Each structure stands twice: as C-alpha cells, then as structure tokens.
C-alpha cells in the first residue's frame, strides 16, 4: 500500500535549499489532509545534521544517505539512492524542487519507479473525492493553466517551482525520527567523473528574496523610463523586476522576470509600472503584501489585485516619484 509524502530535500554545500523547506511545508499541508506523514530525504556526504533540520521545518521523519559518491550531484548515484528509498517506503506522493538538479533527477526517478511526472508545478491540492494529487502547471507558453492527475500509478511525482509555496517557521524540535539508509555504490553507478567544481563569481539577481520590487511592463519599454525605474528601485532599497512582455521587447535580463514562466515573488512592496495585469504575470506576484499599480488604462486588470491604484502615464509619474523621494532623502541628511 502506498502512503505518506516523500520530499526530496536538495542540499548544496551542506545547506538545505529554500525550495526544499517550501516543499516540506506544502507536503505537511497535503499530508494532514490525507492523514499521512511527510518523510524528508537528504542525499549527500556529512549531511546527518540536515536531517534534523528538515524535521524542524515540519517533516514527520527524515531519511538520509551519507556516502562519498553523493558529495557532488551526479545523475546516476542520486537516482539510485532516491529510487531505493522510494521502493522501501512506497510513498503516495513524491515532491522535488524544479531546480537544475530537480529537473535532471525527477524524470529519471519517475522512469525507474514506472510512474508519471508533472513538471514545473505552481499549485498542488488534494481532490476531495478521489484523494488524487491535483498538480497544476502552466501550459502552451503560460497561456493556459493545466491541472494534471496520475490516478493509475503510484507514486504521484511532481516538481515544484521555487517560491510558489511557503515554508513553515522553524521549530525547536528534538526528534528521534531520523534514520540512515545504506546503499552500496559501485563503478557502474558512475558514468562521469567530476574533475573540478568552479563556482561562478557573477552576482545573479534573485528577485524572490527582495523585500521591495519595482516592476516594469510593456508600458515602460522606453529606455528613459527603464533607467528611472531602476533608479527608483535603488532609492527604495529594492530590486528591478519585469514582465515577460517587456523582456520580449527590451534588453532586460530574464532573471528579472515575474510570472508563470518566470519567478514567483512575495515582497513587502510590489510597485507595478505600466503592467496590464495578465493572469500569467499576476499569478507570480498577487501574494505580495502591498501592491501599488501605475497604469494609464483605468480598466487595466492589474487594478483588480492592487491595494493602491494610480491612473496615469508611467513615463510621467515615475520620474516625479524619483524627484520627490530624492527631496525627502535630502531633507533627512
């Protein structure tokens, strides 16, 4: 019989990734509905302490595999380890973060256990009648939200985008529900050899971590206004963000994209400049604490989710905001 929710907790350099904590939180929510447990799985080398950390974020128990072969991520050893644990535990659901590692691991794992995989999910729920996992993801370039089920095979496997779920607060829990799982690796489990790991020194903007985001849409595509929006972001100690519509027509880094095909964000302040409010974008920012929208179209959809709406030309309003904020800052020097 299949039961319980298995969460693959990705770690890098001995640090649990944020998406793993988010998945533990969501897994706990789903498990409570099903009357089951959340089992965290940690693979790596010298990572026993991470198993205890996973429990402090809501896992019912944790299983870890500590082996030199798992020190750096490689497809075959990680697939072998996760598959062996899944076959021993027989989970109902397996959740994996949609990171570069998760997107490589999940399809190989699902093939090994002969089940389906729904990739890049933005929402998970339990069907009240069938108790199947409802896995929702963008389809057709983000123009449609598709809900997928896997009724005939177990486990139900999904990769989930970072940032779309909310991690539980860390609790001070002393648990004995941590156990080591032993796997014997041999030369057939490695088809590559890592000669060197080189970490990039380039700073990549992580808009998911920002408390303040000043976001630009197609209505702010002129270079002059983009410069002003970036300046406004600096003045407010925030970061620049953008819609896909803007990125398609302006020289803006895709790492700044908010929405279904970009990053899901929850800043304290989200200032939308010249953004129409298409569902593909709104679904990635509607949980922001305070949303202020500037758009010259009084019927723009962005006003449906905004806490404060300003009807006007972003090309006029943003430069005025910059000027006024500079005056205020100068007064307090």
179-208 confidence digits (pLDDT tens): 999 998 887 877 777 777 776 655 556 888
CA distance 58 to 56: 6
The two most distant CA atoms of the chain are separated, in Å, by 69
Instruction: Give me the pLDDT at residue 248, please.
Output: 87
Q: Would the pLDDT of 15 be above 80?
A: yes
Rg for the chain, CA atoms, rounded: 22
CA distance 311 to 327: 23
Instruction: Give me the pLDDT at residue 264, please.
Output: 87
Confidence tier at 229 by pLDDT (50, 70, 90):
very high
Among 150-164, 170-184, 239-253, the minimum mean pLDDT is found in 170-184
With tokens 């533990």, the residue in question is 24
Query: What secondary structure does DSSP assign to 265-330, as a single string?
Result: ---SEEEEES----HHHHTTTTT-SEEEEEES-TT-GGGGT-SEEEES-HHHHHHHHHHHHHHHHH
Instruction: Give me the pLDDT at residue 138, please.
Output: 80
Domains and CATH numbers, the chain: 5-189 (3.40.50.620), 207-331 (3.40.50.1220)
CA distance 84 to 172: 30
Q: For the chain, what is the mean pLDDT?
A: 90
Query: What secondary structure does DSSP assign to 158-217, as a single string?
Result: EEE-TTSS-PPPP-------EEE------GGG-S----------PPPP-GGG-SEEEEE-
Query: CA-CA distances (angstroms) from residue 130 to 32, 35, 57, 117, 151?
Result: 16, 14, 28, 19, 9
83-121 confidence digits (pLDDT tens): 999 999 999 999 999 999 999 999 999 999 999 999 989
24-51 confidence digits (pLDDT tens): 999 999 999 999 999 999 999 999 889 9
Q: In the numeric block, which tokens belong to residue 1?
A: 């019989």
With tokens 């030309």, the residue in question is 313
CA distance 190 to 188: 5
pTM > 0.85: yes or no: no
Instruction: Give me the pLDDT at residue 202, please.
Output: 52
């Amino acid at each position: 019989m299949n039961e319980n929710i298995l969460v693959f907790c990705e770690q890098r350099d001995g640090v649990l990734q944020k998406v793993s904590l988010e998945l533990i939180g969501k897994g706990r929510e789903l498990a409570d509905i099903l009357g089951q447990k959340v089992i965290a799985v940690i693979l790596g080398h010298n990572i026993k302490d991470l198993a205890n950390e996973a429990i402090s974020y809501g896992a019912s128990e944790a299983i870890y595999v500590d082996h030199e072969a798992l020190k750096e991520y490689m497809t075959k050893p990680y697939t072998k380890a996760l598959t062996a644990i899944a076959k021993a535990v027989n989970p109902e659901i397996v959740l994996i973060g949609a990171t570069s590692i998760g997107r490589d691991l999940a399809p190989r794992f699902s093939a090994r256990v002969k089940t389906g995989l729904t990739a890049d999910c933005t929402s998970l729920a339990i069907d009240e009648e069938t108790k199947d996992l409802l896995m929702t993801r963008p389809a057709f370039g983000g123009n449609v939200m598709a809900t997928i089920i896997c009724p005939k095979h177990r486990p139900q496997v999904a990769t989930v985008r970072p940032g779309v779920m909310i991690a539980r607060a860390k609790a001070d829990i002393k648990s004995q529900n941590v156990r080591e799982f032993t796997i014997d690796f041999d030369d057939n489990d490695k088809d590559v050899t890592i000669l060197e790991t080189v970490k990039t020194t380039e700073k990549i903007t992580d808009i998911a971590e920002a408390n303040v985001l000043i976001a630009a849409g197609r209505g702010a595509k002129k270079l002059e206004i983009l410069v002003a929006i970036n300046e406004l972001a600096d003045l407010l100690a925030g970061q620049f963000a953008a819609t896909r519509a803007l990125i398609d027509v302006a020289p803006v880094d895709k790492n700044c994209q908010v929405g279904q095909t970009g990053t899901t964000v929850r800043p304290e302040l989200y200032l939308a400049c010249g953004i129409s409010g298409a569902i593909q974008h709104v679904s990635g920012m509607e949980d922001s604490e305070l949303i202020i929208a500037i758009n010259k179209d009084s019927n723009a959809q962005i006003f449906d989710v905004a806490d404060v709406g300003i009807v006007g030309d972003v090309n006029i309003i943003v430069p005025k905001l910059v000027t006024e904020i500079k005056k205020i800052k100068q007064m307090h020097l």
